[in-house]
Amino acid sequence: MDAGVSMKHFYEPYLQEILIDEPTLQARIAELGEQISEDYASVTPLTLICILRGGVVFMTDLMRRLNVPHEIDFLSVAAYGRGVRESSGEVRIDMDLRGQVSGRHLLLVEDIIDSGNTLQFVINFLKARQPASIRLVTLLDKPSRRTVPITVDYVGFQIEDKFVFGYGLDLDEKFRNLPFIGVVKPGVALSDG
Ligand code: IMP
Ligand code: MG
């Protein structure tokens, strides 16, 4: 039984509606994988960089849809306080990449772009190490929330300004394992634990 079914009684109090269901997510990720594979057919060496922690579920599915050789790496970034549903505007690197950046083609893998603060910071941070190129794929984009201009090369879905969770995105650090994207019920207090 998957988490969408077995964890229903845990997440139901917070779920207003399912915004993007599992088959729709998976179909779009397959399309993105195809497109990215085409674009990188003769572009090497490629590294996918997962922006932790939200990007991890998306990246593990996306990379299995690629048919070009690539390495993976992880960058842990914090932009939101615990339980806070607005961007703090403050970004810090919690954990740096392990691999080399210089001369490599980087594809950043994000869960969602909101204000754009996180990505602006990450892109500047990585550019200083002189990669051959940097591109960006995000599963979700909330363009109406942007305060910093960001060029996004691949977008899974554009969504409205609603706080969402599941499929890598957390609600107070939980529910990243849900196979769908859900909208948080407004005004529901988060419990501990
Ligand atoms: P930005 O720096 O404002 O663009 O925020 C980007 C980060 O905020 C994302 O990587 C997410 O981790 C988090 N975030 C933004 N919107 C949501 C949401 O609706 N649900 C969960 N996390 C979100
Ligand atoms: Mg988050």
* pLDDT per position as a tens digit, 115-148: 999 999 999 999 999 999 999 999 999 999 999 9
The pLDDT tens digits of the residues spanning 3-51 come to 999 999 999 999 999 999 999 999 999 999 999 999 999 999 999 999 9
- Looking at residue 169, its pLDDT comes to 97
Shortest-distance atom of ligand 1 to CA 150: 4
Catalytic residue among 114, 141, 153, 170: 114
The pLDDT tens digits of the residues spanning 169-178 come to 999 999 999 9
Residue 183 above 70 pLDDT? Answer: yes
Largest CA distance in the chain: 50
Shortest-distance atom of ligand 1 to CA 115: 3
- ω into residue 45 within 30 of 0, thus cis? yes
Apex CA 108: angle with CA 104 and CA 109, to 5°?
140
**Cβ(179)–Cβ(22) under 8 Å?**
yes
- Looking at residue 82, its pLDDT comes to 46
Apex CA 96: angle with CA 93 and CA 98, to 5°?
170
Question: Which residues have CB under 8 Å from 9's CB, separation 6+?
Answer: none
The pLDDT tens digits of the residues spanning 50-82 come to 999 999 999 999 999 999 999 999 999 886 554
Residue nearest to atom 15 of ligand 1 (CA): 114
Report CA(181)–ligand 1 centroid distance (Å).
13
Report CA(162)–ligand 2 centroid distance (Å).
14
Tokens for 135?
A: 């591109």
Which of 82, 92, 112, 190 is the pocket-test mutation for ligand 1 (most atoms within 8 Å of CB)? 112
Apex CA 156: angle with CA 102 and CA 164, to 5°?
105
Distances (CA, A) of 190 to 5, 13, 15, 45, 80: 21, 10, 12, 44, 15
